[in-house]
Amino acid sequence: MASKKRAVPEINAGSMADIAFLLLIFFLVTTTMDVDKGLLVKLPPWTEEKSEEQDIKEKNIFVVLVNAQDQLLIESEYATLEDVRRLTKEFIDNNGDGTCEDCRGLRDPASSDNPGKAVISLQNDRGTSYNTFVKVRNELLGAYTELRNELATRKYGRDYESLSEGDKEEVNAVYPQFISEAEPVQVGG
């Protein structure tokens, strides 16, 4: 018997690149690299009965009303989207009773007592467009972000985002976020 040791033929690796390309193109086509981003919001827990009247002074509530025509009414006065951020900041930072040492507000006695008591109430109509709602919500969040940033710069000389967790909490304690989204009503239209 001719039992000569046969040499195993080498596998041709030339087509390996083709196979890899095929896979690569498949993943290139199916891939979607969208990261979902959005305005993070916390809803109040559900209660069966009408929410009980809370004891909040009228001057500590900042009412932003958006009607079905996407028009804005802030504290009973017409306003545009550009005004929202500025007015909100003035309201939060007002520091009417002087207990907030880090605030730089106007100390108007008719406006909020301190940022810990200031509540922003966003009210909208059922006919308000989602686009406008998100923009207004964005401005309200922006007002808090700006105030926190300003405080972080004053206190630590850095941006809020670059602070450590502990420092962030300290800043948050000065400017806690109270934004309430009221259940919609038929404001008109």
DSSP reduced 3-state for 78: strand
Among residues 7, 80, 101, 110, which is the contact residue for other proteins, using CB under 8 A?
80
Nearer to other proteins by C-beta: 52 or 101? 52
Tokens 């989207």 identify what position?
81
- Listed ranges 55-63, 91-99, 167-175, 180-188: which one lies at the site for other proteins (CB under 8 A): 180-188
**End-to-end Cα distance, the chain:** 101
Integer Cα distance of 116 and 89 in angstroms: 13
Q: Shortest approach of other proteins to residue 58 CB, angstroms?
A: 25
Q: Which whole-number Å values give the CA distances from 16 to 12, 19, 22, 23, 128, in the listed order?
A: 8, 5, 10, 11, 58
Report 96-155 residues binding other proteins (CB under 8 A).
124-135, 137-139, 141-142, 145
CA 98 to chain centre: 28
Nearer to other proteins by C-beta: 86 or 154? 86
Nearer to other proteins by C-beta: 40 or 110? 40
Q: What is the CA radius of gyration of the chain?
A: 28
Residues that bind other proteins (rule: CB under 8 A) add up to a total of: 50
**Residues 105 and 93: beta-carbon distance below 8 Å:** yes
Nearer to other proteins by C-beta: 63 or 141? 141
Report 20-79 residues binding other proteins (CB under 8 A).
20-21, 23-24, 27-28, 30-33, 35-46
Q: Edge to edge, what strands does the sheet with 72-74 contain?
A: 77-79, 72-74, 61-66, 119-124, 179-181
Nearer to other proteins by C-beta: 43 or 110? 43
Site of interaction with other proteins (CB under 8 A): 13, 16-17, 20-21, 23-24, 27-28, 30-33, 35-46, 80-82, 85, 124-135, 137-139, 141-142, 145, 181, 183-184
